[in-house]
Structure 1
């Protein structure tokens, strides 16, 4: 905690002071991000850092496994769904990025039995969103490491299907005013790959 407090003091003294006009402009004009970034809650994945984005440029959702639950209106609370709706229908973002990453703990958990842990009831239910990706990766085969990497990438791709179950997302994609993207961030190298529809594979992002 002490480190966080010192970090905040440094932020106020240096970064905030340097960008004070930007922050005041964001207060006056409101936020107008161009992109919704859906990433993992993993502490090693920091959207603004890996994209070099400034405050106000990214609207972010981070959850376990960078999953998107399908559109399903009911009486339950839906944090991720609410943020998607707000980004698409209120903020009118132009792009949505679903970003998977290497060494993902959520994906590893798909291959473990967590059901015996009563403290992970909600987590176990949430992880069901990765089961289809796991099935496909197992069919592809390969080493355990390759299987995990494939699951991480395939899972990110599957989230686009779930995104398209949201009426507003589907409508805007069909209109051509909203574009969906799949990224894969490699923690060990800092590189980002993107899925190329034309090539049917993940391609390194060029500078």
Structure 2
């Protein structure tokens, strides 16, 4: 989309959409934000959290990165952006829910099965994808490598579970989960159908979100 289209859309936003929430924006500006949910999603342009959830301004604290990965807690790691977003949401905003939202046809999960060139232009991507390696191992152990489509879809779902486990390595997250003050959710968004599946802990599997 050409940049002019975004500018035209901004003009429409000011005239129509902003007016719809004008009082809400004024209140949010004066009183600050108090979202109850942290949404960790993929940077993929096809995944739009507000559109998927119907959230209004102020409803979601959104953090997006390649693959919706959560690096394990480590005070001296190189992934401060993701870690600081989690810490801020949990310890400052005191959100009640965290959603890890993975999706179908995820480029990050597919890249786990490709050789990333050793060059300076991709050095951060190569390092970042290491977070997804456990999901790759789980998927291969579960379904093998003969059916590539099944392997990729399984990797995408396994990755969501890995990131949920990584969340629990953060002391504040673990403490609040154990105190029933924070609840973690694994969602799998199907780009091609708009459907969302959630991870059912009791069943140990992903199930469609029913109306």
For the criterion TM > 0.5, the same-fold answer is: yes
- The residue number in structure 1 matching 2:164 is 160
1:169 and 2:168 are equivalent in the alignment: no
Tell me, in whole angstroms, the C-alpha distance in 2 between the residues paired with 1:49 and 1:139: 35
Which consecutive aligned stretches of 4+ in structure 1 deviate over 3 angstroms post-superposition? Answer: none
* Deviating more after overlay: 75-84 vs 93-102: 75-84
* Deviating more after overlay: 49-58 vs 116-125: 116-125
Quote how far apart the aligned CAs of 1:75 are: 7.2
Quote how far apart the aligned CAs of 1:118 are: 3.1
- Scaled by the length of structure 2, the TM-score of the pair is 0.95
CA deviation map 1:74-104 (0-9, x unaligned): 2746000000000000000000000100000
- The residue number in structure 1 matching 2:148 is 144
- The residue number in structure 2 matching 1:198 is 202
Secondary structure (helix, strand or coil) at the match of 1:156 reads: helix
Secondary structure (helix, strand or coil) at the match of 1:38 reads: strand
- Scaled by the length of structure 1, the TM-score of the pair is 0.97
- The residue number in structure 2 matching 1:124 is 126
What value does the CA root-mean-square deviation take over the aligned residues?
1.1
1:109 and 2:89 are equivalent in the alignment: no
Which sections of structure 1, spanning at least 5 residues, go unmatched?
Answer: none
- The residue number in structure 1 matching 2:192 is 188
Which sections of structure 2, spanning at least 5 residues, go unmatched?
Answer: none
Judge conservation of contact 2:71–2:79 (CA < 8 Å) in 1.
no
